[in-house]
Amino acid sequence: MDIIWHGHSFFEIGVKSPNDSNQKIKIVIDPFDKNIGIYPKRVLADILLISHYHYDHSNKDAVKGDYFIIDQPGQYEVKNIMIKGVNSFHDNKLGQERGLNVFYIIQAEDIKICHLGDFGQSEFSTEQKKELIDIDILMLPVGGVFTISGEKAAKLVFEIEPKIVIPMHYKIPGLNLKINDEKEFLSRIEIEPKNVDKLKIRKSDLPKDKIEVYILKPQ
């Protein structure tokens, strides 16, 4: 499995097809619009996931190919890849300020991935926690302002204990959104991050008795 970060909440995940290990299926999540100050990379997708329709998460023009789009909660099976969308709130006031957000759980190559989108709740609901049992890789916002803060993100990580954490939705060079960088999150979580261009991982590579944090370089 290959995980590439294009900045903000925009990810590209390449997984082996369950039917043919020589074939890759590309899953793209939350492509942003150039109005955030960074020009989005054009990508090919087989599956496109959109957490919510704000311009910094839903730029379909950046995505090419005959893809299947998922933008609502529910259980999906696409190309034998299992994906579940779970309703959540973009803020801590039941969506009254910024509306709804869908976070996605993807199961591929015997690895369970969660992309939290613009999660803004101060805590997970009981129902959400049930969905987040045994998450292997968690992608979560840490920049605050429009989502959870770095401090709150660290608390949520320790609550569900994924094996790998990839911070997203934080201030990087060129981004014109007024959000914070990743430093608060890293100081609160107190785990030395591994800096990589992209994450290439197999089930056997997952840590067994600790949490690892990866800082991906925008590609």
* Residue 64: predicted pLDDT: 96
Summarised one tens digit per residue, pLDDT across range 9-55 is 999 999 999 888 778 999 999 999 999 999 999 999 999 999 999 98
Summarised one tens digit per residue, pLDDT across range 121-173 is 988 999 999 999 999 999 999 998 999 999 999 999 999 999 999 999 999 99
- For residue 67, the domain's CATH number is 3.60.15.10
**Secondary structure letter of residue 109 according to DSSP:** T
Number of domains, the chain: 1
* Residue 96: predicted pLDDT: 77
Its domain, for residue 156, covers 2-216
Amino acid at residue number 187: S
How sure is the predictor about 92, in pLDDT bands with cuts at 50, 70 and 90?
A: confident
d(CA 201, CA 22) in angstroms, rounded, equals 16
Q: Which two tokens stand for residue 140?
A: 């979560």
CB 184 within 8 A of CB 150: yes
CB 118 within 8 A of CB 145: no
